[in-house]
Structure 1
Amino acid sequence: MRSMIEAVGLTKRYGDKTAVYNLSFQVRPGTVTGFLGPNGSGKSTTMRMILGLDNPTSGQVTIGGYPYRRLPNAARQVGALIDAKAVHGGRSARNHLLCLAQLSGIPARRVDEVLGVVGLQDVARKRSKGFSLGMGQRLGIAAALLGDPQVLLFDEPVNGLDPEGILWVRNLMKALAAEGRTVFVSSHLMSEMALTADHLIVIGRGQLLADMSVQDFIAANSAGFARVRTPDTEPQLREKLSGAITEAGGHVLPEQDGALRVTGLPLPRISDIAHATDVRLWELSPHQASLEEAYMRMTQGAVDYRSTTDQKAGLMQPLPPGAQPPMPVPGQGQPGWYAPPPPQPGGQPFAGPQDQAGPYGGPGAGTPNPYAQAGPAAPQGAPQPPAHTPAAQPPAVAPAPQTSAPATPTEPEDAR
């Protein structure tokens, strides 16, 4: 496809730190693809490699079959918002866009068009150093749209925007995708991604965790349950119903507000049990996990910095017995399946089986999720992961550099 982004075996190391390891995925046109992952997971580094700002240590990433630096007049084909603050504060919004337009052979009238699209026409001649965070984001989006590109990358596009601005960005992303463009959006706002994205690519510690639709991601990383409430004034009824549901093969977990979380039984069956045991119900409702809940379950093993109280949070509780969903790990349970441990200091990740081809043809491409629940044992002689506790020994993950110009890679200061 002409405007598809494709990464194959993408790896990036900064000295002894591995920021991205063996990452393979595709971003197709016509849909909004969300790019998710904890802080330090390698999202910004990946986006910089897509845009040619960093060179991969190994592997490759292409846009329409070509590396970014080999695209003719790349600014007319690819638009990006990576760092909204990369603007000379003494320039007005209009002059900033005019400079970008002249460098790419874009007519000046297009500058006024995109200023109108992002709503900055009334402040177009004001110096950008006086802009709020949200205004800076709008100016960055205007720069991305300047060349009317077919491929758009946005890193945290709603950062600093008010609710009206967030809604505007959401509708803009959907409209761009509906026109057949490729839209790749990185964000930490799960509620917004649930409303905006059609497809998700999730990474953790530089490796692929999931590549699937939003609906499939939620279904694979959560278990639906029934919420059941009995009269608060009669706690003995709650205990009676809980025992009857357990006897019928259901699983019951108490909620903090006194309700019961029931899995393993359909709602009509729960209603029949309540009727048979003469228990009145105040509530019987189905519950489907949100994207945020599914994301928390998927990535909790790849979080570097965790509060000591996290274990008490409801999202960290294990799923009820018998309700553990299958994790989206290609090949898990098949002969030869092997999940590598995280990349190690020294820039030398553990090697998986060399004869296992991934979905893109290369050895090890599409390596299974190392953070999923335990699967079959590793092949005989395969290296074993060292003992590792995320809270006590954060893995070596390099942050993404903040500079906006292509340069020789140096060790970055921060990553998201």
Structure 2
Amino acid sequence: MIEAVGLTKRYGAKTAVYNLSFQVRPGAVTGFLGPNGSGKSTTMRMILGLDQPTSGHVTIGGHPFRQLPNAPRQVGALLDAKAVHGGRSARNHLLSLAQLAGIPARRVDEVLGVVGLQDVAKRRSKGFSLGMGQRLGIAAALLGDPQVLLFDEPVNGLDPEGILWVRNLMKKLASEGRTVFVSSHLMSEMALTADHLIVIGRGQLLADMSVKDFISANSADFARVRTPQTAPEQREKLTGVLTEAGGQVLSEPDGAMRVTGLALPRISDLAHDADVRLWELSPHQASLEEAYMRMTQAAVDYRSTEDQLAGLQQPVPPGYAPPQPVIPEVPQQGWYAPPPPGQNPYAGAPAAAPVAPQAAPAVPPAAAPAPAPAAAPDLTKRENDEDAR
């Protein structure tokens, strides 16, 4: 278990983390969320003993990281996938880490298979893509078979298959009773992976609760109701009935109604009693992204503004259509066939055909005169001419 108590970190006049206290329990995937600059990376570095807290403390299994015996066998972490010597192969990189921690060499081949890099184990890591680097970093975290794992943006650069693999890996590790702490900006992925959330903003704790409770506490559930578009009087009638029953009705951009304060069965009964036909009656629960944005909107440090040059573009005249390039037709065969002579649109004007010279009378090889030797240049005459000048 990871436990932080009053964790504070200051860099000069800037306070990156302030009085942060939380627990990361085993057997569950705990998501670590927060805007850019909120102190997530600093907190993870303090957990791993890479940064010293200004005040407070953080422990893993009741001990600071630096006091853990053979820490790589107890804690695995992925903070920066690029922290690899580019000249080493994937296997040699993991082998060096294993030798430092006293881990058998056979474990290197095992984790290479787990992350899917067994076929490129002998390639130098400097030629790896971003996703391959992430897989190598995850392999390094799993090398010591630790009980506590920390991952910072583990799906960065992975394709959909890789993202699904990481999601299942996190759940599997947690199901084995391990402590899994994952930082990510992908709300959709956190909603599918995490069981518990720790949310911070500007270095302070904002939420420490389950994903379900977090969404419920930071969003308002409502019902979408739609009546026939050809009968606006039924919409008005239903609006009055729902309002009288204590509901709040708002119009949606697509013509539906957003109803809060009434349960779905109650809405259905009121519409039936009022003889109003419904085309849609569906519950809506906010997503993790909506709830997260609502909670952290006041803790965002970097906000974009409108582009001041957005309205300075020349308006397009009405009816104007850009000229379409003329593309020559290409034969539909499976192989390319050149166009017939005279029909190639990329060829220039045909050059005039050269006049064939008349054939000279044949001379027997024996009677052919030998070519005269080339006359040597008269250097004396050239020197006299230069002197005359």
TM-score range, shorter chain: 0.7 to 0.9
Residue 187 in 1 paired to residue 184 in 2? yes
1:34 aligned residue (18, 31, 36):
31
Q: Which residue of 1 aligns with 2:360?
A: none
**What is the distance in 1 between the residues matched to 2:302 and 2:226?**
36
**Pairwise CA distance, 1:83:** 0.2
Q: Which residue of 2 aligns with 1:88?
A: 85
Q: Which residue of 2 aligns with 1:299?
A: 296
Q: Which residue of 2 aligns with 1:259?
A: 256
**What is the distance in 2 between the residues matched to 1:233 and 1:205?**
51
**What is the distance in 2 between the residues matched to 1:237 and 1:303?**
44
**What is the distance in 2 between the residues matched to 1:109 and 1:305?**
47
Q: Which residue of 1 aligns with 2:5?
A: 8
Moved over 3 A (4+): none
**Pairwise CA distance, 1:308:** 5.0
Gaps of 5+ in 2: 307-389
**What is the distance in 2 between the residues matched to 1:256 and 1:129?**
51
Deviations 1:323-348 (A, max 9, x none): xxxxxxxxxxxxxxxxxxxxxxxxxx
Instruction: State the TM-score, normalized to the length of structure 2.
Output: 0.77
| Alignment of structure 1 residues 203-214 onto 2, 5 Å | 203-214=200-211
**What is the distance in 2 between the residues matched to 1:259 and 1:305?**
35
Match for 1:12: what amino acid? K
Q: Which residue of 1 aligns with 2:152?
A: 155
Instruction: State the TM-score, normalized to the length of structure 1.
Output: 0.72
**What is the distance in 2 between the residues matched to 1:222 and 1:264?**
13
**Pairwise CA distance, 1:273:** 2.2
Q: Which residue of 2 aligns with 1:72?
A: 69
Deviations 1:142-189 (A, max 9, x none): 000001111000000011111111111111111111111110000111
Q: Which residue of 2 aligns with 1:281?
A: 278
Q: Which residue of 2 aligns with 1:172?
A: 169
Q: Which residue of 1 aligns with 2:385?
A: none
2:97 aligned residue (100, 106, 120):
100
Q: Quote the RMSD (CA, aligned, Å).
A: 1.2
**What is the distance in 2 between the residues matched to 1:154 and 1:60?**
20
Residue 118 in 1 paired to residue 115 in 2? yes
Q: Provide the aligned length of Structure 1 versus Structure 2.
A: 306
**What is the distance in 2 between the residues matched to 1:210 and 1:175?**
25
Match for 1:5: what amino acid? I
**Pairwise CA distance, 1:194:** 1.1
1:129 aligned residue (111, 126, 129):
126
Percent of pairs with identical residues: 89
Q: Which residue of 2 aligns with 1:393?
A: none
**What is the distance in 1 between the residues matched to 2:153 and 2:34?**
12
Deviations 1:256-275 (A, max 9, x none): 21111111011122122222
Q: Which residue of 1 aligns with 2:219?
A: 222
Gaps of 5+ in 1: 310-416
**What is the distance in 1 between the residues matched to 2:231 and 2:122?**
68
Deviations 1:99-156 (A, max 9, x none): 1111111111111000000000000001111111110000000000001111000000
CA gap 1:266/1:178 in 2 versus in 1, 3 angstroms: same
